[in-house]
Amino acid sequence: MVAEPGCAGTSTRQGPFADDCPSRVVLNHVANRWGTLIVTSLHEGPMRFHQLRDNIGGISEKMLSQSLRLLIRDGLIDRTVEPSTPPRVTYSLTPLGLELASPLRTLVDWITLRTDDIVAAQERYDRAQTA
């Protein structure tokens, strides 16, 4: 693991394992359901706000706006405004966001592939608890 400047002195933990390091803040932005699903959606190509909203079941417009703002501030997503009437706003991954999309896409695909196994494990666990 790579040491983080200005962080190593305050804790023996490194990177996102340290709760007082900037990388924990980054982890909080990307390692959550909405960050994961937004970045994975945009891995398919640029999207408009309503496309993202429709693609991600159960996300509110408020939560989507907030998550997009954080990811734009983190330099992971670009917001492009075309000067048409009305202005056409598009969201896309930056080169940095594209790097991040790779492990998140792998994670989403793995979950999709393995959900049956996980549901079977949950049922075994619940049967053992009630036995």
Closer residue to its own copies, CB minimum distance, 18 or 90: 18
Q: Total residues at the site for its own copies (CB under 8 A)?
A: 63
The greatest distance separating any two alpha carbons of the chain, rounded to the nearest whole angstrom, comes to: 65
Q: Are 30 and 76 in contact (CB under 8 A)?
A: yes
Q: Are 41 and 47 in contact (CB under 8 A)?
A: yes
CB of residue 83 to its own copies, shortest distance in Å: 18
CB of residue 113 to its own copies, shortest distance in Å: 5
- Kindly indicate which of the ranges 60-68, 83-91, 121-129 contains the residues binding its own copies, using the contact rule CB under 8 A: 121-129
Rounded (5°) CA angle 85-88-93:
165
Q: Are 56 and 37 in contact (CB under 8 A)?
A: yes
Binding interface with its own copies (CB under 8 A): 1-2, 4-5, 11, 13-24, 26-28, 30-33, 35-37, 41, 55-58, 72-76, 96, 99-100, 102-104, 106-122, 124-126
